[in-house]
Amino acid sequence: MTVSVVGVRHHSPACAGLVRHLIEKQQPHTVLIEGPADFNPRIGELGLGHQPPLAIFSYHQTENLYSRTFTPFCSYSPEWVAISTAFQTGLECRFMDLPSWTRPFDKVENRYHDEDRSREYVTHLCRKLNMTGMDELWDHLFEQPRAFYELEQMLATYFQNLRECSVASPSDLERERFMAAQIAEAARQGSVLAVCGGFHKPALEALWPTLEGPPPELPEPEGEGRFGSFLVPYSYSRLDSFTGYAAGMPSPLYYQILWEEGPKAAHRRAFQLIAGRLRERKLNVSAADLIASQAMTCGLQRLRGHEVPTRVDLLDGLAGTLIKHGLDRPLPWARRAPLAASTDPILVEMLAALAGQDEGCLAPTTPLPPLVSAVEALLRSEGLYPAKKGKEVVVKVGSTRSYLLHRLHLLPIPGFSCEEEVLGKETWFIKLLEPFFSALVEAGAYGATLPDAALSRLEELLERSNGAADQLAELLEGAFRAGLTSLPERLLGLLKRRLAAERELAVLGRAGQIFLSLWRSFQSEELVNLLKQFVDQCLWLVELQSGPRERARLDEIRAHKILADCYRLLGFDCQPLVDLMKRRVDEVEAPPAQRGSALGLLWIFDPAPDLVSRSISSLQQCSQPDRLGDFLAGLFGVARDEVVSRDEITSAVDEVVRGYSESEFFVALPALRLAFSYFPPREREAIARALLKKIGAPEARAWSLLRTAANPLQVSANRKLEERVDLVLQRYGLS
Amino acid sequence: MNETYTHGLGGQDSRRRIQEASPVKNIQRPPAEILYKAELQKLKKQDKGEKPPGWCLSLKAVRAFILGDEALGIEPKFVGHPSTVDRAMVTLATQRGLILVGEPGTAKSLLSELLAAAVSGCSTHTIQGGASVTEDHIRYSWNYALLVSQGPSRESLVPAPVYRAMESGHIVRFEEITRCPLEVQDTLLSLLSDRVMAIPELSGEEGMLFARPGFNLIATANTRDRGVNEMSAALKRRLNFESVFPIADFDTEFQLVKRESEKLLKESGVPKGVPEDMLEILVTTFRELRSGQTREGAALSPFSTVLSTAEAVSVAHSAGVRSWFLRGETVNAEDIVHGLDGAATKDDPEDRKRLRAYLEQTVRQRGEAPWKALYEARHHLS
Q: Distance, in angstroms, between A573 CA and closest chain B CA?
A: 25
Q: What percent of chain B has pLDDT over 90?
A: 46
Q: Is A463 part of a structural domain of the chain?
A: no
Torsion over CA: B109, B111, B114, B116 (sign) = negative
CB contacts under 8 A, A 303-332 vs B, are 303-304, 312, 316-317, 319-321, 323-327, 329-331
pLDDT tens, position by position, A300-348 = 999 999 999 999 999 999 999 999 888 888 898 888 777 777 788 999 9
Q: Are residues A296 and A384 in the same domain?
A: no
Beta pairing class for B97-102 and B216-222: parallel
Q: Are residues A602 and A626 in the same domain?
A: yes
Q: Are residues A285 and A385 in the same domain?
A: no
Q: Is A536 part of a structural domain of the chain?
A: yes
Spatial distance between the Cα atoms of B264 and B321, rounded to a whole number of angstroms? 10
User: Are the CB atoms for A634 and A596 separated by under 8 Å?
Assistant: yes
Which one of B50, B86, B106, B290 makes the best mutation probe of the A interface by having the most chain A beta carbons within 10 Å? B86
Please give the interface size between A and B, counted as residue pairs whose CB atoms are below 8 Å apart.
82
Q: Is A516 part of a structural domain of the chain?
A: no
Spatial distance between the Cα atoms of A710 and A713, rounded to a whole number of angstroms? 9
Q: Are residues A348 and A384 in the same domain?
A: no
Last residue of a domain, one of A355, A388, A423: A355
Q: Are residues A444 and A383 in the same domain?
A: yes
User: Are the CB atoms for A322 and A329 separated by under 8 Å?
Assistant: no
Spatial distance between the Cα atoms of A387 and A318, rounded to a whole number of angstroms? 51
Q: Are residues A581 and A544 in the same domain?
A: yes
For residue A663, the Cα-to-chain-centroid distance in whole angstroms is 48
Domain that holds residue A439: 370-451
pLDDT at position B23 over 50: no
Spatial distance between the Cα atoms of A235 and A458, rounded to a whole number of angstroms? 18
- What is the arithmetic mean of pLDDT over A31-37? 94
Q: Distance, in angstroms, between B272 CA and closest chain A CA?
A: 31
Q: Are residues A230 and A303 in the same domain?
A: no
Helix (H, G, I), strand (E, B) or coil at A625: helix
In chain B, which residues have their Cβ closer than 8 Å to the Cβ of A500?
298-299
- Determine the residue type at A107: K
In chain B, which residues have their Cβ closer than 8 Å to the Cβ of A299?
59, 90, 93-94
Last residue of a domain, one of A451, A474, A506: A451
Cross-chain residue pair A497–B223, CB shorter than 8 Å: no
Cross-chain residue pair B90–A299, CB shorter than 8 Å: yes
The verdict on A296 touching B (C-beta cutoff 8 Å) is yes
pLDDT tens, position by position, A67-84 = 778 899 999 999 999 999
The verdict on A459 touching B (C-beta cutoff 8 Å) is no
Q: Are residues A258 and A214 in the same domain?
A: no
The verdict on B226 touching A (C-beta cutoff 8 Å) is yes
Nearest of A256, A546, A86 to residue B353 by alpha carbon: A546
Q: Are residues A565 and A652 in the same domain?
A: yes
More confident residue, A61 or B272: B272
pLDDT tens, position by position, A573-624 = 888 888 888 888 888 888 999 999 999 999 888 888 888 888 888 888 888 8
Strand positions, DSSP E, B10-130: 12-19, 97-102, 126-128
Last residue of a domain, one of A208, A234, A260: A234
pLDDT tens, position by position, B304-334 = 777 888 889 999 999 999 999 998 888 888 8
End-to-end CA distance of chain A: 70
- What is the H or E stretch that residue A373 is in? helix A370-381
* Closest partner CB to A303 (pick from B89, B221, B242): B89
The verdict on A130 touching B (C-beta cutoff 8 Å) is yes
**pLDDT score for B297:** 66
Q: Is A247 part of a structural domain of the chain?
A: no
CB contacts under 8 A, B 32-71 vs A, are 59-60, 63, 67
pLDDT at position B22 over 60: no
Cβ neighbours for A92, distance < 8 A, ≥ 6 positions apart = A29, A30, A31, A86
Q: Are residues A350 and A407 in the same domain?
A: no
pLDDT tens, position by position, B75-101 = 888 888 889 999 999 999 988 999 999
Identify the closest residue of chain B to A290 by CA–CA distance: B237
Cross-chain residue pair B96–A321, CB shorter than 8 Å: yes
**pLDDT score for A85:** 94
- The full DSSP string for A1-62 is --EEEEEE-TT-HHHHHHHHHHHHHH--SEEEEEEEGGGGGGGGGGGS--BSSEEEEEEEE-
The verdict on B223 touching A (C-beta cutoff 8 Å) is yes
The verdict on A532 touching B (C-beta cutoff 8 Å) is no
What is the total count of domains within chain A?
4
Q: Is A470 part of a structural domain of the chain?
A: no
ipTM over 0.90: no
Q: Is A18 part of a structural domain of the chain?
A: yes
Q: How many CB atoms neighbour CB A61 within 10 A?
A: 21
**pLDDT score for B347:** 67
The verdict on B91 touching A (C-beta cutoff 8 Å) is yes
Q: Is A320 part of a structural domain of the chain?
A: yes
In chain B, which residues have their Cβ closer than 8 Å to the Cβ of A468?
none
Which one of A132, A321, A323 makes the best mutation probe of the B interface by having the most chain B beta carbons within 10 Å? A321
Nearest of A135, A235, A172, A140 to residue A34 by alpha carbon: A172
- What is the H or E stretch that residue B140 is in? strand B140-142
Q: Is A361 part of a structural domain of the chain?
A: no
- What is the arithmetic mean of pLDDT over B44-71? 92
Q: Are residues A157 and A58 in the same domain?
A: yes
pLDDT tens, position by position, A205-242 = 999 999 887 878 888 877 667 778 888 888 887 777 76
**pLDDT score for A735:** 66
User: Are the CB atoms for B101 and B221 separated by under 8 Å?
Assistant: yes
Q: Are residues A29 and A112 in the same domain?
A: yes
Cross-chain residue pair A300–B81, CB shorter than 8 Å: no
Among A64-73, A81-90, A347-356, name the one with the lowest average pLDDT: A64-73
